[in-house]
Amino acid sequence: MDPKKNTQMEFFNKNTRNLFYYEGPFYIDLLTIFGNHLKIYTNSFPLAQKKLFKIYVELTQNVSYYSEEYILSKNDNRKIGMGEMQLADHQNQYYITTKNIVKLQDANILSQRCEIINSSSKEYLKELKRELRKSSPGEKYGARIGLVSAKLISRNNIDYSIIENDRKYSLFKITAKIDKNETY
Amino acid sequence: MKRIEFRRSLSYPYYPGVVFDADSGVCEITGESYMEEAYKFYFPLINWLKEFTENKNEKITLNIKLIYFNTSTTKCLLDMFEILKKYKNKGNEVEINWFYDKEDPDMIDEVKDFEKEAEIDIALKGF
Protein backbone atom coordinates (compact mmCIF):
# COMPACT_ATOMS: atom_id res chain seq x y z
CA MET A 1 0.00 0.00 0.00
CA ASP A 2 1.31 3.41 -0.89
CA PRO A 3 1.38 5.34 2.40
CA LYS A 4 1.16 8.63 0.54
CA LYS A 5 -2.38 7.95 -0.63
CA ASN A 6 -5.06 10.10 0.97
CA THR A 7 -2.49 12.21 2.79
CA GLN A 8 -2.58 15.50 0.90
CA MET A 9 -1.54 18.27 3.23
CA GLU A 10 -4.79 19.51 4.67
CA PHE A 11 -5.97 23.07 4.84
CA PHE A 12 -6.18 23.57 8.56
CA ASN A 13 -9.44 25.44 9.00
CA LYS A 14 -11.22 28.65 8.04
CA ASN A 15 -8.81 30.74 10.13
CA THR A 16 -5.82 29.48 8.20
CA ARG A 17 -4.65 30.78 4.85
CA ASN A 18 -2.44 28.53 2.79
CA LEU A 19 0.51 30.54 1.41
CA PHE A 20 2.17 27.73 -0.50
CA TYR A 21 2.12 23.99 -0.79
CA TYR A 22 4.52 21.67 -2.60
CA GLU A 23 4.84 17.95 -3.04
CA GLY A 24 7.77 16.28 -4.79
CA PRO A 25 11.56 16.10 -4.66
CA PHE A 26 13.22 18.65 -2.35
CA TYR A 27 15.88 20.05 -4.69
CA ILE A 28 17.89 22.80 -3.06
CA ASP A 29 17.29 25.18 -5.96
CA LEU A 30 13.58 24.66 -5.62
CA LEU A 31 13.74 25.14 -1.86
CA THR A 32 15.55 28.42 -2.51
CA ILE A 33 12.72 29.64 -4.75
CA PHE A 34 10.11 28.75 -2.14
CA GLY A 35 12.34 30.33 0.50
CA ASN A 36 12.34 33.59 -1.47
CA HIS A 37 8.55 33.49 -1.63
CA LEU A 38 8.43 32.82 2.09
CA LYS A 39 10.49 35.96 2.71
CA ILE A 40 8.19 38.03 0.52
CA TYR A 41 4.97 36.72 2.08
CA THR A 42 6.18 37.39 5.61
CA ASN A 43 8.11 40.64 5.25
CA SER A 44 5.56 42.57 7.33
CA PHE A 45 6.95 40.78 10.37
CA PRO A 46 10.76 41.02 10.05
CA LEU A 47 11.79 39.03 13.12
CA ALA A 48 9.21 36.30 12.46
CA GLN A 49 10.40 36.24 8.85
CA LYS A 50 13.99 35.56 9.89
CA LYS A 51 12.97 32.86 12.34
CA LEU A 52 10.64 31.27 9.82
CA PHE A 53 13.28 31.12 7.10
CA LYS A 54 15.80 29.46 9.45
CA ILE A 55 13.29 26.81 10.51
CA TYR A 56 12.07 26.35 6.95
CA VAL A 57 15.61 25.51 5.78
CA GLU A 58 16.20 23.07 8.66
CA LEU A 59 12.93 21.20 8.20
CA THR A 60 13.04 21.03 4.42
CA GLN A 61 16.69 19.93 4.38
CA ASN A 62 15.76 17.15 6.81
CA VAL A 63 13.27 15.92 4.19
CA SER A 64 15.83 16.30 1.43
CA TYR A 65 18.48 14.30 3.35
CA TYR A 66 16.46 11.69 5.19
CA SER A 67 13.18 10.92 3.44
CA GLU A 68 12.87 7.23 2.63
CA GLU A 69 11.21 8.19 -0.63
CA TYR A 70 13.73 9.74 -2.97
CA ILE A 71 14.94 10.17 -6.49
CA LEU A 72 18.55 10.04 -7.68
CA SER A 73 20.15 13.21 -8.94
CA LYS A 74 21.17 12.91 -12.60
CA ASN A 75 24.39 14.84 -12.01
CA ASP A 76 25.97 12.89 -9.17
CA ASN A 77 23.54 10.07 -8.35
CA ARG A 78 22.89 11.65 -4.97
CA LYS A 79 19.62 10.96 -3.17
CA ILE A 80 17.10 13.80 -3.20
CA GLY A 81 14.40 13.19 -0.62
CA MET A 82 10.74 13.61 -1.52
CA GLY A 83 7.95 14.89 0.63
CA GLU A 84 5.44 17.67 1.16
CA MET A 85 5.70 21.15 2.61
CA GLN A 86 3.22 23.86 3.40
CA LEU A 87 3.43 27.42 4.66
CA ALA A 88 0.27 28.71 6.28
CA ASP A 89 -0.83 31.98 7.83
CA HIS A 90 -2.85 31.27 10.95
CA GLN A 91 -4.05 34.37 12.78
CA ASN A 92 -1.08 35.44 14.95
CA GLN A 93 1.28 32.73 13.77
CA TYR A 94 2.88 31.24 10.70
CA TYR A 95 2.89 27.46 10.38
CA ILE A 96 5.60 25.66 8.45
CA THR A 97 4.85 21.98 7.93
CA THR A 98 6.79 19.18 6.31
CA LYS A 99 5.78 15.60 5.75
CA ASN A 100 7.90 12.72 4.53
CA ILE A 101 8.15 8.96 4.60
CA VAL A 102 10.28 7.40 7.32
CA LYS A 103 10.86 3.85 8.47
CA LEU A 104 8.33 2.79 11.09
CA GLN A 105 10.98 2.39 13.80
CA ASP A 106 12.51 5.79 12.92
CA ALA A 107 9.10 7.41 13.34
CA ASN A 108 8.98 6.20 16.91
CA ILE A 109 12.50 7.50 17.60
CA LEU A 110 11.62 10.87 16.06
CA SER A 111 8.48 11.07 18.20
CA GLN A 112 10.49 10.43 21.34
CA ARG A 113 12.97 13.13 20.33
CA CYS A 114 10.16 15.61 19.75
CA GLU A 115 8.75 14.80 23.18
CA ILE A 116 12.15 15.44 24.80
CA ILE A 117 12.62 18.66 22.85
CA ASN A 118 9.15 19.93 23.72
CA SER A 119 9.57 19.26 27.41
CA SER A 120 13.09 20.74 27.73
CA SER A 121 14.26 24.17 28.81
CA LYS A 122 16.15 26.57 26.55
CA GLU A 123 19.40 26.04 28.45
CA TYR A 124 19.09 22.25 28.22
CA LEU A 125 18.36 22.45 24.50
CA LYS A 126 21.42 24.63 23.91
CA GLU A 127 23.54 22.10 25.76
CA LEU A 128 21.91 19.26 23.82
CA LYS A 129 22.72 21.02 20.55
CA ARG A 130 26.37 21.32 21.54
CA GLU A 131 26.47 17.65 22.53
CA LEU A 132 24.85 16.58 19.27
CA ARG A 133 27.39 18.60 17.31
CA LYS A 134 30.22 16.85 19.09
CA SER A 135 28.79 13.37 18.69
CA SER A 136 27.70 13.73 15.07
CA PRO A 137 29.91 12.37 12.32
CA GLY A 138 32.03 14.99 10.60
CA GLU A 139 30.23 15.16 7.32
CA LYS A 140 26.61 15.25 8.36
CA TYR A 141 24.45 16.10 11.29
CA GLY A 142 21.42 14.08 12.20
CA ALA A 143 17.94 15.47 11.93
CA ARG A 144 17.95 16.00 15.67
CA ILE A 145 19.83 19.28 15.54
CA GLY A 146 17.33 20.73 13.08
CA LEU A 147 14.47 19.84 15.41
CA VAL A 148 16.26 21.30 18.42
CA SER A 149 16.92 24.47 16.43
CA ALA A 150 13.25 24.68 15.41
CA LYS A 151 12.18 24.72 19.05
CA LEU A 152 14.95 27.10 20.14
CA ILE A 153 14.26 29.57 17.35
CA SER A 154 10.46 29.50 17.46
CA ARG A 155 10.24 29.17 21.26
CA ASN A 156 7.06 27.16 20.62
CA ASN A 157 6.55 23.43 20.90
CA ILE A 158 6.83 21.36 17.77
CA ASP A 159 3.65 19.64 16.59
CA TYR A 160 4.25 16.21 15.18
CA SER A 161 2.22 13.22 14.10
CA ILE A 162 2.79 9.82 12.59
CA ILE A 163 0.48 8.46 9.96
CA GLU A 164 0.94 4.71 9.90
CA ASN A 165 -0.48 2.95 6.94
CA ASP A 166 2.18 0.47 6.04
CA ARG A 167 4.00 -2.22 8.01
CA LYS A 168 7.41 -0.84 7.13
CA TYR A 169 6.93 2.88 6.57
CA SER A 170 5.09 5.82 8.08
CA LEU A 171 4.49 9.40 7.17
CA PHE A 172 6.08 11.77 9.66
CA LYS A 173 4.49 15.19 9.81
CA ILE A 174 6.03 18.06 11.68
CA THR A 175 4.79 21.63 12.16
CA ALA A 176 6.70 24.55 13.64
CA LYS A 177 4.73 27.62 14.70
CA ILE A 178 6.26 31.08 14.66
CA ASP A 179 4.59 34.01 16.39
CA LYS A 180 4.18 36.97 14.05
CA ASN A 181 4.75 39.59 16.69
CA GLU A 182 7.95 38.12 18.01
CA THR A 183 9.89 40.31 20.37
CA TYR A 184 13.27 39.65 21.85
CA MET B 1 49.63 31.04 -0.83
CA LYS B 2 46.79 31.12 -3.31
CA ARG B 3 44.05 33.68 -2.70
CA ILE B 4 40.57 32.17 -2.51
CA GLU B 5 37.73 34.23 -3.88
CA PHE B 6 34.19 33.04 -4.41
CA ARG B 7 31.57 35.58 -5.36
CA ARG B 8 27.98 35.34 -4.22
CA SER B 9 25.47 34.62 -6.94
CA LEU B 10 21.74 35.26 -7.12
CA SER B 11 21.45 31.88 -8.83
CA TYR B 12 23.05 30.07 -5.89
CA PRO B 13 22.26 32.17 -2.80
CA TYR B 14 22.96 29.18 -0.53
CA TYR B 15 26.70 29.63 -1.14
CA PRO B 16 28.37 32.46 0.76
CA GLY B 17 30.82 34.92 -0.71
CA VAL B 18 34.40 34.16 0.32
CA VAL B 19 37.69 36.04 0.21
CA PHE B 20 40.73 34.49 1.91
CA ASP B 21 43.80 36.62 1.35
CA ALA B 22 47.19 35.56 2.70
CA ASP B 23 48.93 38.86 1.94
CA SER B 24 46.63 40.88 4.20
CA GLY B 25 45.80 37.98 6.51
CA VAL B 26 42.13 38.89 6.21
CA CYS B 27 39.50 36.23 5.55
CA GLU B 28 35.84 37.02 4.94
CA ILE B 29 32.71 34.91 4.65
CA THR B 30 29.49 36.76 3.77
CA GLY B 31 25.88 36.11 2.89
CA GLU B 32 24.00 32.88 3.48
CA SER B 33 25.32 29.35 3.85
CA TYR B 34 22.82 26.54 3.54
CA MET B 35 24.21 24.41 0.77
CA GLU B 36 23.97 20.63 0.82
CA GLU B 37 27.16 18.83 1.80
CA ALA B 38 28.64 21.95 3.36
CA TYR B 39 31.95 20.20 4.09
CA LYS B 40 32.67 20.01 0.35
CA PHE B 41 32.42 23.79 0.07
CA TYR B 42 34.33 24.50 3.29
CA PHE B 43 37.04 21.86 2.84
CA PRO B 44 39.33 24.14 0.75
CA LEU B 45 38.82 26.98 3.23
CA ILE B 46 39.74 24.77 6.17
CA ASN B 47 42.82 23.52 4.31
CA TRP B 48 43.79 27.10 3.49
CA LEU B 49 43.64 28.04 7.16
CA LYS B 50 45.73 24.99 8.09
CA GLU B 51 48.36 25.97 5.55
CA PHE B 52 48.40 29.59 6.73
CA THR B 53 48.66 28.72 10.41
CA GLU B 54 51.34 26.09 9.85
CA ASN B 55 53.56 28.30 7.70
CA LYS B 56 53.11 31.85 8.94
CA ASN B 57 53.36 33.77 12.16
CA GLU B 58 51.38 36.82 11.12
CA LYS B 59 48.11 38.18 12.36
CA ILE B 60 45.00 36.60 10.88
CA THR B 61 41.55 38.16 10.89
CA LEU B 62 38.37 36.24 10.17
CA ASN B 63 35.35 38.40 9.40
CA ILE B 64 32.05 36.55 9.27
CA LYS B 65 28.93 38.26 8.02
CA LEU B 66 26.53 35.36 7.62
CA ILE B 67 22.89 36.27 7.93
CA TYR B 68 21.89 32.62 7.87
CA PHE B 69 23.72 29.29 8.03
CA ASN B 70 22.40 25.75 8.36
CA THR B 71 23.50 23.16 10.90
CA SER B 72 25.88 21.50 8.43
CA THR B 73 27.71 24.80 8.12
CA THR B 74 28.12 25.15 11.89
CA LYS B 75 30.39 22.11 12.02
CA CYS B 76 32.64 23.62 9.34
CA LEU B 77 32.79 26.95 11.16
CA LEU B 78 33.73 25.17 14.38
CA ASP B 79 36.52 23.35 12.55
CA MET B 80 37.84 26.73 11.40
CA PHE B 81 37.66 28.18 14.91
CA GLU B 82 39.57 25.15 16.22
CA ILE B 83 42.43 25.83 13.81
CA LEU B 84 42.51 29.49 14.79
CA LYS B 85 42.45 28.62 18.50
CA LYS B 86 45.53 26.42 18.08
CA TYR B 87 47.26 29.20 16.16
CA LYS B 88 46.42 31.67 18.92
CA ASN B 89 47.62 29.27 21.60
CA LYS B 90 50.99 29.21 19.85
CA GLY B 91 51.26 32.94 20.56
CA ASN B 92 49.96 34.33 17.30
CA GLU B 93 47.46 37.15 16.91
CA VAL B 94 43.96 36.08 15.91
CA GLU B 95 40.94 38.32 15.48
CA ILE B 96 37.47 36.95 14.79
CA ASN B 97 34.66 39.39 14.08
CA TRP B 98 31.06 38.37 13.61
CA PHE B 99 28.90 41.03 11.96
CA TYR B 100 25.25 40.44 12.75
CA ASP B 101 22.00 42.05 11.73
CA LYS B 102 20.72 44.05 14.71
CA GLU B 103 17.21 42.99 13.69
CA ASP B 104 18.18 39.35 14.21
CA PRO B 105 18.98 39.04 17.93
CA ASP B 106 18.92 35.22 17.73
CA MET B 107 22.30 35.52 16.04
CA ILE B 108 23.83 36.81 19.28
CA ASP B 109 22.85 33.55 20.98
CA GLU B 110 24.32 31.55 18.12
CA VAL B 111 27.64 33.38 18.26
CA LYS B 112 27.85 33.09 22.04
CA ASP B 113 27.27 29.36 21.66
CA PHE B 114 30.13 29.24 19.17
CA GLU B 115 32.39 31.10 21.59
CA LYS B 116 31.56 28.68 24.39
CA GLU B 117 31.97 25.60 22.24
CA ALA B 118 35.12 26.68 20.42
CA GLU B 119 36.65 28.41 23.47
CA ILE B 120 37.77 31.38 21.43
CA ASP B 121 36.84 35.05 21.55
CA ILE B 122 34.48 36.29 18.85
CA ALA B 123 33.75 40.01 18.67
CA LEU B 124 30.09 40.73 17.92
CA LYS B 125 29.52 43.74 15.71
CA GLY B 126 26.00 44.85 14.83
CA PHE B 127 25.18 46.37 11.46
Let me know if residue A121 belongs to a domain: yes
Burial code of A128-147, b = ≥16 C-beta within 10 A, e = fewer? bbbebbeebeeebbbbbbbb
Domain annotation covers residue A36: yes
Complex-level ipTM: 0.89
CB-nearest partner of A146 from B36, B39, B71: B71
- B102-124 pLDDT, tens digit each: 989 889 999 999 999 999 999 99
Write down how long chain A is: 184
φ/ψ of B87, rounded to 5, equals -65, -40
**pTM for the whole thing?**
0.90
Any domain includes A10? no
Q: Is residue A138 part of a domain?
A: yes
CB contact under 8 A, B36 and A28: yes
When divided into structural domains, chain A yields a total of 1
> Count H helices, E strands: chain A?
5, 6
**A141 and B14 in contact by Cβ < 8 A?**
no
Beta bridge partners of A101: A171
Average per-residue pLDDT for chain A: 88
Q: Residue B106: closest CA among chain A residues belongs to which residue?
A: A153
Q: Is residue A62 in some structural domain? A: yes
- Contacting residues of B for A47, CB less than 8 Å apart: 103-105
Domain-located, residue A6: no
Residue A89 maps to a domain: yes
**In this complex, is the C-beta atom of A58 within 8 Å of any C-beta atom belonging to chain B?**
yes
β-strands B94-100, B123-126 pairing? parallel
Which structural domain range is residue A72 located in? 18-179
Q: Is the pLDDT of residue B68 over 80?
A: yes
Query: What's the Cα-to-Cα distance from A93 to each of A60, A118, A134, B99, rounded to whole Å?
Result: 19, 18, 33, 29
The answer to whether A22 and A34 have CB atoms below 8 angstroms apart is yes
Q: Do B71 and A139 touch (CB under 8 A)?
A: no
Mean pLDDT for the stretch of residues A17-29: 95
Distance from CA of A32 to the nearest CA of B (A): 8
Domain positions in chain B are: 60-102+115-127
With respect to residue A120, please indicate whether it lies within any of the assigned structural domains.
yes
What per-residue string of b and e applies to A36-56 under the rule 16 or more CB within 10 Å gives b? eebeebbeebebbbbbbbbbb
> Any idea what the CATH number is for the domain that residue A142 is in?
3.30.565.10
List pLDDT tens digits, range A37-56. 999 999 999 999 999 999 99
